[in-house]
Structure 1
Amino acid sequence: MHINFLALLAAACSTLVVGFIWYNPKVFGNAWMRETGMTEDKMKGANMAVTFGVSVLYAFFISFILQFVTIHQFGALGMIGGDPSIAKPSYTEFMADYGSAYRTFKHGALHGFMTGLFLALPVIGVGALYERRSFKYTLIAGGYWVVSFMVMGGIICAWQ
């Protein structure tokens, strides 16, 4: 198993595409602005190159971890200590039989969904509770990450 950095980068960039759709005023953009107190004037003062760049960097960090959730073969690699050259012949046979099993977009999206629902959404929700944000905000921001994790997981898992 090797780390596919191109797939991780594509998955990270996919969060921008999802965000452009999700936070479009015709989708959840206006509701999100109301819930956060954001205005058009506040948005104009931001350095969007830095915002998008750091967003992709953070999403890359997420994609790096998502590969271990969505690609089960990393589990087999972990069982042998991460070095295939010291593995017993059974590892090589296992990988020959199952090396590309469950490497589909659909399977990755399923694991991305579960990770988003049971990890990202609660993290957003807990932060929102302490920041005194509304449940609507939690659903908008958390929903974005659930959908993003689905897309990211699908890309990472399918791209071999």
Structure 2
Amino acid sequence: MEINFLALALASLSTLVVGAIWYNPKVFGTIWMKESGTPIEKMQGANMVLIFGMSLFYAFLIALVLQALVIHQMGAFGTVGGNVQDPQYIQFMEAHGTKFRTFKHGALHGFLSGLFFALPVIGVGSLYERRSWKYVLIAGGYWVVSCMIMGAIICGMK
């Protein structure tokens, strides 16, 4: 099973698009800045090339993991140790092929990954950082939506 690097790159880029909308001052940006304690002056002095570059790198790492969560065939591939000549793998692929390789199915698994993994990770960190529930819902919600879109892209692009 080949890795679709174009899908991973597009999924990674989608996080910047979602972030531009999600953290826009007219959506959740103003509330997030207040809840995170980040003044506008601090944001204006940031190295945005570094921030966007590292954001893309981290999103790509997330996309690498998400592909194993949203593409069922990756599990079969891993079960046979990557041996595409294994008779069990061949039998599995003949029976199931690209079943469940849709944008909709990827969105479902991406959503579940965001809801049951990313949101709790944000929530736990926020407890120790003494962040508000508004912060948790905004930051965690961003990752739920982003994982959903990433999953759709990764699973839907064959």
TM-score bracket for this pair, using the shorter chain length: over 0.9
Q: Determine the structure 1 residue equivalent to 2:127.
A: 129
Report the number of matched residues.
158
Q: Determine the structure 2 residue equivalent to 1:51.
A: 51
C-alpha separation in 2, matches of 1:2 and 1:37: 44
2:91 is the counterpart of 1:93? yes
C-alpha separation in 2, matches of 1:46 and 1:139: 24
Q: Provide the identity percentage.
A: 63
Q: Determine the structure 2 residue equivalent to 1:148.
A: 146
The Cα shift of 1:97 comes to 3.0
Gaps of 5+ in 1: none
List structure 1 segments (4+ residues) > 3 angstroms apart after TM superposition. Answer: none
TM-score by length of 2: 0.97
Letter aligned with residue 7 of structure 2: A
Letter aligned with residue 5 of structure 1: F
Letter aligned with residue 14 of structure 1: S
C-alpha separation in 2, matches of 1:120 and 1:152: 13
Q: Determine the structure 2 residue equivalent to 1:4.
A: 4
The Cα shift of 1:94 comes to 2.3
TM-score by length of 1: 0.96
Per-residue CA shift, 1:87-106, capped at 9, x if unaligned? Answer: 01x42132123121001111
